[in-house]
Structure 1
Amino acid sequence: MNRYKTEEARARQNARAGKTPAESAELDQQETLQASIYELARTIHIERFPEEYDHYYDSIADASDRTSGINPMSKEYIERVTAKRKKEGVSPLAENGLPTANDTWEIVLAEAERQLQPK
């Protein structure tokens, strides 16, 4: 087990120390719900804001351009994405095509919580 997983397991165990089985089960349920919310939010984010993942597919030259502050995407694509983001009410991408704020994540997280929270 790597250090992160070890620390995560230790924190999980400490959170349950001195708890009744029912309280531990409630914590398990909350953690499961939270994990489901984050998983759904990530899926929604990828579907609604795929432009924030464009840099994953950069060639070496494209990555170098982004590092220099140049967006390697076509002008038409940049304009289309800018208009879409403005319509959605989120911050525009930086000159290099990377996100500058977490506002899109906050939107999809709230949407995922609405979809999965028990009523």
Structure 2
Amino acid sequence: MNRVEKELARKRAELCEELGEEQVQKMELAESLARSIHQEVFPEEYDHMMDSVSDANDRRRGINPMSVDYTAEVNARRSELGVTPLGENGMPTDSSSWEVAKAEAMRRLK
């Protein structure tokens, strides 16, 4: 077990003492579901993972390597969901998409 894993285990143990094992498991399930929902509903936020070297350099310079049509389509869908549009470089500008995913996860768990 490396240092990061030890620290995560320590924090989880502290949280279990404070909230209880059952509450921590529910919280972890909700976070996992929210991650899954976020990846499903907002795949454009993960596009940068497949960038070529030149695309990554463009993003660093503030240039969006995605096509204009795709960006317009994505931003229209995001606005329908109440999420801010992507920035000039094609990356999210805030965490509003995560808030939508977390809310949906909580709705599904109830």
CA distance in 2, matches of 1:28, 1:93: 38
Q: Percent of pairs identical after alignment?
A: 48
State TM-score, norm by structure 2: 0.89
Tell me whether 54-63 or 80-89 shows the greater mean CA deviation: 80-89
- Structure 2: gaps (5+ residues): none
Matches within 5 A, 1:1-119: 1-14=1-14, 27-117=20-110
Structure 1 spans left out of the alignment, 5+ residues = 18-23
Tell me whether 76-85 or 60-69 shows the greater mean CA deviation: 76-85
Residue 39 of structure 1: CA displacement? Answer: 0.8
Larger radius of gyration, structure 1 or 2? 1
TM-score w.r.t. structure 1 length? Answer: 0.83
* Cα contact 2:78–2:85 (8 A) shared by 1: yes
For residue 14 of structure 1, report the CA deviation from its aligned partner: 4.4
RMSD over aligned CA atoms reads 1.9
State the one-letter code of the partner of 2:2. N
Q: One-letter code of the match for 1:95?
A: E
Runs (4+) of structure 1 exceeding 3 A deviation are 11-17
Count of matched residue pairs: 110
